[in-house]
Structure 1
Amino acid sequence: MKINPVSANFRRRSGALLCALACSLALNACSPVAPAPATSADRPDGANSASSVAASHTPVPDTPTTTAELPVLNIDDQHSQITIIVRRGGLLARLGHDHLILVRQLSGSVDQHNNRATLQFRLDEMQVDPPELRLAAGLSPQPSADAIAGTRHNMLQRTLDAQRYPLVLVQAERHADGHSLQLALTLHGVTRSLRVPANIHSDGRSLSAEGSFTILQSDYGITPFAVMGGALAVQDQLELHYRLQAH
């Protein structure tokens, strides 16, 4: 019988393909097949993938607290204060007194997420020459009650114009170095930017900050008080010491 060459070639190719297919099936039968990932619909309890991870034996580390989770803190005016030392000057300075001004009625808050704080106080709530703080600051002798009253009147009415500018506003931002604050201080209707040293401690639930710096009254459009043509005057420079607590 005569064999058609085309049919013979076809049979040879078909046999090769069937052999390759059989080998492939045999190899797959010996290899484990990875199961398809289950969906929530496939699970009888309807658990999602997050529940599956939680149910595994691999421990999941605690998520650290981020700054976004830190609460906003309020200034504690019972444990916060600003003291301002005003020095005497002029040719007759020996006839006058250095003065200490105390600020206790502070209000404001600390935004820990953005490392910013705001606080303010009223000028007419400042105290003049509290005896215990004058003594601690090394200022003596203690002025008389009449002298303190006169100092307060001149400070609020003639120097600071407290009726027109009753509030002092401070906006603070923690500097990247962690040891200073960038302030925007608004006094007498004028805002100035300055960087001041700060010793800051925080645990996320409370914060404390303290430091000292100086300002010039003339930088805020204030003319220092003077009498007798400047023979007895208040120095332009003021010394500020602050201690703040927030909870």
Structure 2
Amino acid sequence: MFSQNLRTVFLLACAVLAACTPLPPAPAPAPAAAASMPAPPWQRPGVQLLHIAPDESLLTITVRRGGALARLGHDHVVASHTLQGVVAPAPGRAQFRFRLDEMTVDEASLRQAAGLTTTPSADAIAGTRHNMLVRVLEAERYPWVGIDARRTGDKQVFDADITLHGVTRTVQLPVRIEETAGGRRLQASGSLLLKQSDFGIVPFAILGGAMAVQDQMELAFRITARQDVSAPGSIASPGR
């Protein structure tokens, strides 16, 4: 009986490893060239706009493993270093977006910062990225994630319309804001918990859910916006 049970466990482990091995199939979509972001409808002449500096901004999403065999998998951190958009400090508005196919997966420094202790292989990371873009997020069909935020009565909380996977949800977003250089530079940071299912996304799972990604995901951001940013993908002025 013991040998039979051992054989069953061995076969199950082999099946798990085979399921987690990335297939050689079609590669994930390649990033497209950045296009100018349309001006937000709330933009008005005379309203000071600060442009997001992508090289000084970061958005991360951490997803956790789940299921009965979670110990055989990994938690993951995906990140965007290509945020584009604007912030209007006076009216308390912000609009920005990023492309899913430009996100990175499991950068070592970001995994360490998130407190993740396992180390996925390069093949596992490539497989995760493919599954994320193709099977879960349908990035070719829904390439952009957009966030339109407006300040509420509480200056530290914004109402944010988040559009992901073709679905828009409004959430309350706590934000810490620091302004410097006489208002010509702004830094904003914050975090919140979201559920993939709220955006019509089915979390990735194999083996009948024995290995799966949890529905909840942790979003965190650190954004720098400046008055002097001019780069591809910046906001197009009205009338252009």
- Same structural fold, with TM-score higher than 0.5 when normalized by the shorter chain: yes
CA deviations 1:143-168 (Å, max 9, x no partner) are: 10000000000000000000000000
With structure 1 as the length reference, what TM-score do the two structures score? 0.71
SS state at 2:56 partner = coil
Aligned equivalent of 1:217, options 196, 203, 217: 196
Question: C-alpha distance in 2, partners of 1:124/1:150?
Answer: 14
Q: CA deviation at 1:196?
A: 1.3
With structure 2 as the length reference, what TM-score do the two structures score? 0.73
Question: C-alpha distance in 1, partners of 2:171/2:54?
Answer: 24
- 1:92-107 to structure 2, matched below 5 A, reads 92-107=69-84
- Residue 173, structure 1, aligned to residue 150, structure 2: yes
Question: C-alpha distance in 1, partners of 2:76/2:148?
Answer: 26
Equivalent residue for 2:238? none
Amino acid across the alignment from 2:178:
H
Shift >4 Å, 4+ stretches: none
Aligned equivalent of 1:135, options 95, 104, 112: 112
Equivalent residue for 2:224? 245
Equivalent residue for 2:30? none
Equivalent residue for 1:81? 58
Question: C-alpha distance in 2, partners of 1:175/1:201?
Answer: 17
Equivalent residue for 1:49? none
Q: CA deviation at 1:228?
A: 0.2
Relative contact order higher in (CA < 8 Å, ≥ 6 apart): 2
Equivalent residue for 1:144? 121
CA deviations 1:176-217 (Å, max 9, x no partner) are: 211111100000000000001111122421111101101000
C-alpha contact (below 8 Å) 1:81/1:104 kept by paired residues:
yes
C-alpha contact (below 8 Å) 1:214/1:238 kept by paired residues:
yes
Q: CA deviation at 1:110?
A: 1.0
Equivalent residue for 1:112? 89
Among all aligned residue pairs of Structure 1 and Structure 2, give the percentage whose two residues are the same amino acid.
53
User: Please, which moves more after superposition, 222-231 or 197-206?
Assistant: 197-206
Q: CA deviation at 1:172?
A: 0.7
Question: C-alpha distance in 1, partners of 2:145/2:65?
Answer: 23
Question: C-alpha distance in 2, partners of 1:73/1:226?
Answer: 41
Question: C-alpha distance in 2, partners of 1:221/1:118?
Answer: 22
How many equivalent pairs are there? Answer: 181
